[in-house]
Each structure stands twice: as structure tokens, then as C-alpha cells.
Amino acid sequence: MWLLFLPPPVFFCPMLKTGPMNNKTCLGILYLLLVLSLASGANDNFPFGGRAAGMGNAAVSLYDFWAVSHNQAGLARLEHFASGVYFENRFMTPEMSLGAAAIVYPAAPGVFALNVTYFGYSLYHESKIGLAYARSFGERLSAGIQLNYLYTHIGDGYGTAGNPAVELGVIYELIPGLSIGSHVFNPTRASIADFNDERIPTIMRMGLAYAFSERVIITVETEKDMERDPVFKAGLEYQLIDHVFFRGGMGTNPTTNAFGFGMDLGNITIDLATSFHHILGYSPQASLVYTFR
């Protein structure tokens, strides 16, 4: 809420040149950044993937295609080339839509992946392009790393800024069916601008995934932004029948709930989900992955 008390020349960080701004643009960007202050910070590491979304994004210990977003170590067991797309209508507000696409390519030394995201609209948007690599070290340990380029744009002549950042993670299978995962985004605390020592968030995550059976997986996770209170998340995936999955999840700080379902149609996997923020409302999400077997 402190954003409301800053005059426009200070509100927009000096990495972006100052100049005249019409009222519509100013109010639109002010609203967008105010919502971001309630939900997640600018230049945040936006999660994506329909499966994880349905489980409250408690996915740091899971092996699947969308590990490219949550923990690149989870790519290490993929065996086939695949591509996927994701879309989220965040809080049912078109100006806060999030889109993502990724490709995964297993090779002899490991698994490579490329992903891009776009958040926002023409007058304010953030995008990220990431190149990831993951591999297994024996039967229990997997590790991954991703190099990112983050780009922010504010319209009406205020300018753009680009910043590099890195993220890395590991997953270790403690016993059959029980895995622990850890991931850190931007451990070097890369800066956005010199003004007020503005920095890209450093976000650490750690969690467990336990498969009670071939049909039931439960996940728990904690997430800590260095400048925010910790978040606790939990998720459940239940295989109703062959190739059909039901999912649910929850989180704290702020309180969120999620549910969704998925269908594995052979080469095509479709996942649909919806999350609910107790202040900002619903966020429908959908993803599709095509695997070249």
C-alpha cells in the first residue's frame, strides 16, 4: 500500500526515464503494480504449469515437464522431446495475464530446456527467457540449473530494463516414493536499478513429495522470499481412473486455494486448474504438453 503515497517520479524507478504520462496509462500501471504488491513482487519468478497450479504450486519435489518452472532438477528423468504451452488469466484481469511456452530436449549428457514467459499488457509487461540443463547423478540425486534474462517494459516513454539472473535446484529420493527438493531463484541478488538498491527477489523453496501408492501423491513445501514472510503450501494428486487425475492445493500468506484435473491422452497431456485468492479472486489456468514418443 505504500506505493500509493509516492509521487509518480519516485514511484517509477529511475532505471526508466521520466517524462509525461497520460492519466489512463498512469492509473493502469499504478493499479497493476498495486495488485503486484498484494500478490507478488515485480520481476518475481512467476510459476507456471497446469499440474502444479492445481496442487497449489507445491511442486518443488516433482519430476515432470513443468519442472522447468518449479525446479529444473525435476527435468532430469524425462526421456522424450516435448513442448508445451501455458496460460493464466490471473485474478480474471486481462492486463495481468501470464503466458508461457517451453521445450525439453533429452540428450546423452542430460536434459536441456528452453522456456519463455510474458506477464502483463502493452503498457506494462515483464518477460523472461530461460535456458536450463538438468541431469541425474545415480538413481537418487538430480540437479538442474537455469540461466535467465528478465525484461521489464513501462510504456509511454518510461523505458525498459533487462537483467540476468540464475536459478538452480536439486531433488533427492530419500527412500522409494519419498523425495526432497530444494530450489533457489536469483541467489546472487541481481539488481534491477541503482536507485534505492532495487533488486530482483531472491526466493528459496524446499519441500517433500510422497507417493502413497501409484494413484496418490502428497506434496508439502515452504517458500521464502528474502524480503517477505515465508509461505507454506501443500498439494494432492489423485488418479481417479487411468489417465485422469484430480488435484487440490492450498497456501498461506496470503491464504489461497486451488483445484484442478488432468488428462493423459498418450502424446498429449492437458491440465486445467483454478486458484482462489481470498482478496483478489479466481485465476483460471490451463496447459498443454505434446510429447514426441
CA distance 49 to 67: 8
Which position has the higher pLDDT, 227 or 4?
A: 227
* Mean pLDDT, range 259-275, rounded to an integer: 96
Residue 23: which pLDDT band, with cuts at 50, 70 and 90?
low
- Residue 152 three-state SS: strand
The per-residue pLDDT for 179 is 97
- 10 or 41, which is more confident: 41
Q: What is the mean pLDDT of residues 262-289?
A: 94
| Domain spans, the chain | 2-291
Residue 31 has what pLDDT? 53
Per-residue pLDDT at 48 exceeds 60 = yes
All residues at 6 or more sequence positions from 5 whose CB lies less than 8 Å from its CB, including other chains: none
The pTM (predicted TM-score) of the whole model is: 0.84
Tell me 126's DSSP state.
E
φ, ψ at 51 (rounded to 5°): -65, -50
Decide if pLDDT at 35 tops 60.
no
How many other C-beta atoms lie within 10 A of the C-beta of residue 1? Answer: 7
Contact predicate 163/192, CB 8 Å: yes
Q: Please provide the CATH number assigned to the domain covering 2-291.
A: 2.40.160.40
CA separation for the pair 270, 104 (Å, rounded)? 17
pLDDT band for position 42 (cuts 50, 70, 90): low
Residue 43: its pLDDT value, please?
Answer: 63
Residue found under cell 510429447: 291
The number of residues making up the chain comes to: 293
Q: What is the pLDDT of residue 254?
A: 83
Average predicted confidence (pLDDT) for the chain: 85
Please state, as a whole number, how many other Cβ atoms lie within 10 Å of the Cβ of residue 190. Answer: 17
Q: Are 237 and 258 in contact (CB under 8 A)?
A: no
DSSP notation for 218-237? EEEEEEEETTS--EEEEEEE
Looking at residue 26, what is its pLDDT? 52
d(CA 237, CA 52): 10
Q: How confident is the model over 61-117, as pLDDT tens digits?
A: 999 999 999 999 999 999 999 999 999 999 998 888 999 999 999 998 899 999 999
pLDDT band, very low/low/confident/very high, at 10 (cuts 50, 70, 90): very low
Taking only the tens place, the pLDDT of each residue in 173-220 is 999 999 999 999 999 887 776 666 678 889 999 999 999 998 999 999
Contact indicator for 249, 259 with CB cutoff of 8 Å: yes
What's residue 227's pLDDT?
83
pLDDT of residue 223: 95
